[in-house]
A and B are shown apart, each in its own frame.
Chain A
Amino acid sequence: MTIAAHGLSAERSGRTLLHPTNVNLKPGERVGLVGASGSGKSTLGHVLVDTLRARGTSVAHVPQSPDEALDPLRSMAFHWREAEQALGLSPDDARRADLFNALQIADSDLRKRPWSWSRGMQQRFVIAMALIGTPDLLVMDEPTSALDPVVAAGTMGLLDAYLRDRQTALLLITHDLGLAARWVSRLMVMEASRIVEDAPTPRLLSTPETKAAKALCAHRNWLELPC
């Protein structure tokens, strides 16, 4: 089933955070959302997730920072149980062990609270929580910014297999064009709270049309130097 959300918009106290925007994703499609800081990428991600959720579409979101995903007063075990209950699932140790092994956080102590884990481990825990269910769409906001390059590559590899198995679509919000070039087939470029260019990744990276896309691609050839 194609995921389509039309007329997404956001404003706060009279200021427009997102101009009316349409987003369409085919099942299993991977799309990157790129643009300068403050261009409205995260806002579009939030509005898209909230709109689809309200409509009953199964969608998971990984925020930019684990601080925006975890309650510092609650243990990791509490977060995990709560996420399972929210999806209506009963506790499944095997499922948890699979995800934790894949994300290399199996040795960590779930009784601890988030701040006694490293940020990279917190981030992988949040990604694991997003993968508990089988969402139709996974929105990830800078998923690898807290991870070192080796772990980042491993995490993306796990995601690749997971998304392919379940036909889950991916919206990857990032300023890392190398990451985008490696993992997504289509790129959307944002500038000043609207999408200004939407094209297959190789086409956009080789011949960007808009000023914003040209500025992003100017520094080096992302297709030749992925990741």
Chain B
Amino acid sequence: MIRIFAGLLARAVVVLTGTALATFALLWHAPGDPALSIAQARYGTVVSKEVLDFIRAEAGFDDGFWTAFWAWLAPLIQGDFGQSSVNGRDVWPDLLTAMSYTFPLALVSLGLGLAVSVPLALIATRRPGSWMDRSAVALASVGVAIPAFWLGQLLILLFAVQLGWLPAMGAERTAHSILPAMTLGFGLAASLTRILRSGILEARGQSFLPAFHRRGVAQRNIARDHVAPHAAVPVVTVLGLELAFLLEGLVVVEVIFARPGLGSFLVNAIFARDFPKVQAMVILAAVIFVVVNLLIDLIYRILDPRMDGRDA
């Protein structure tokens, strides 16, 4: 188990280093003069050559790619994300504030997604092919097809404009997070329902189940001890991919609902060409991905130890 964990950890380090290198290389080679972009974001449209030279020297653009990469990476490894190239403030506190808005929203959305999809999948699989099943599948397909930016606006129209029950913009009160959480949660619920449904149906078709009936094991115990674990395996696998959907959705939802958070943080940084902030955000996203997938790998190996050919 320790050897497996070390292997997964080594893989995580390689992924993170690769991400850091790729992000930096992309921004470094992006068309246009980064010094000019920074100068324009800082001082306005007309910029003198002296200012550009000053910014180049300050940002380390004159020293070549690898020197500049290392000058960025070395503090990053120690947890120093550097300063904003626009206003000079430390990136980390701003990033922390953004996370304090985004993570609770992400968790509530995930919870909502599970709370909707699990009962729906159970109802759907009670009698496969029945009208209940077909309706659940249709609902899930529609849910997967509706993009978050459209669903979000529909919800605003209905609950904020027409009915006036919920606030649409901002993040001052808990009520402000209901519509964003619904927007993300319903999208998640739709794809989770499809995966859960097929997982349950496949688990029910396992060739060993009739033997448990013939042994006299109660139906309820078979469902709990033999169908559920097999149905959970694909769901756990897919949760890692759902995270990508969630992060992407968060950016859209935060912009639509004018919420502070990682999504707004990233979009604002891109518009301002604030490279240290963009890089910090990309690295953070990569770390989240790697950590969550590491956890999922571990859970998966506990659920189904056939993965590594020995017992856990």
Task: Mark A residues whose CB is within 8 Å of B.
Answer: 46, 49-50, 53, 60-61, 63, 67-74, 78, 82-83, 85-87, 111-113, 115-116, 129
Contact = CB atoms under 8 A, between A and B. Distances in A.
Q: How large is the interface on B (under 10, 10 to 19, 20 to 34, 35 or more residues)?
A: 20 to 34
A71 B227 CA distance: 10
B214 A50 contact: yes
A86 B216 contact: yes
A32 B208 CA distance: 24
A83 B215 contact: yes
B311 A72 contact: no
A116 B311 contact: yes
A85 to B, nearest CB: 8
Which of the listed residues A46, A112, A113 has the most CB atoms from chain B within 10 Å of its own CB? A113
Given A73-B229, A116-B310, A61 B216 contact: no
B35 to A, nearest CB: 58
Given A53-B216, A116-B311, A69 B305 contact: no
Contacts of A113: 305-306, 311
B207 A67 contact: yes
Interface majority SS on B: helix, strand, loop or mixed? helix
A129 B305 contact: no
Contact of B303 (A67, A73, A86): A73
Interface of B: 206-208, 210-212, 214-218, 221, 225-226, 229-230, 303-306, 310-311
Contacts of A83: 215, 217
In order of increasing CB-CB distance, the 5 nearest A-B pairs are A86-B216, A69-B211, A61-B214, A86-B217, A71-B226
A115 B312 CA distance: 13
6 contacts: A61-B215, A63-B211, A69-B211, A73-B304, A113-B305, A113-B306
A86 B211 contact: no
